[in-house]
Amino acid sequence: MMKNSKTVEDRLNQLATWNKLLLLVIIVVGLLAFMLSQKPEPGALRAASIQLVDNRGDVLAELAVRDGNPGLYLDDEAGQTRAALFHAPDGTGFYIMDSDGVTRVGIAQFAHGGGGVALHGERSRGAAVLYFKEEGSLRFFDADGRVTNEVSAETSSPSN
């Protein structure tokens, strides 16, 4: 009996969506690289946001300030933000969300000097977190947020 009820077609559709988002990121990065390689003109381009839209006018990517934080936000066909690269007073981060808007992957550099990578399960329950400030650690959390296993620079071996 299969644990995962997704069909091959569902998985292929999900893969196609991720491929579109990846292509969009490549295009945006390419455009930014092209713009930065051009001879600067006097003055500045100022806008509240710069949006990349599809042929229907739906916003798929936006360079904007959201909640007071500048960033690049990538949306899916349903308008749900699926990836965000932004800077805030407490740090800089890159987050990948699922179709429900739940963060599944997070990479962050915090203002206090620490940084890390977190992988989250469904509904952000359970996680694996690799973190480094003065020393590194890898922690695994269950669905209730309790640490189930930890490897740290101090112990250099898994704890139970």
* Residues 41, 103 within the same domain: no
Domain that holds residue 36: 1-75
* Residues 2, 65 within the same domain: yes
* Residues 106, 54 within the same domain: no
* Residues 53, 118 within the same domain: no
Dihedral angle of Cα 6, 124, 92, 109, to the nearest 10 degrees: -110
- What pLDDT score was predicted for residue 61? 94
84 found inside a domain:
no
- What pLDDT score was predicted for residue 106? 92
Residue type, 90: D
CA gap 30, 16 in Å, rounded = 21
Per-residue pLDDT reduced to its tens digit, 29-67: 888 888 777 776 677 888 889 999 989 898 999 999 988
Domain boundary among 75, 110, 130: 75
pLDDT exceeds cutoff 50 at 1: no
82 found inside a domain:
no
Report how many domains make up the chain: 2
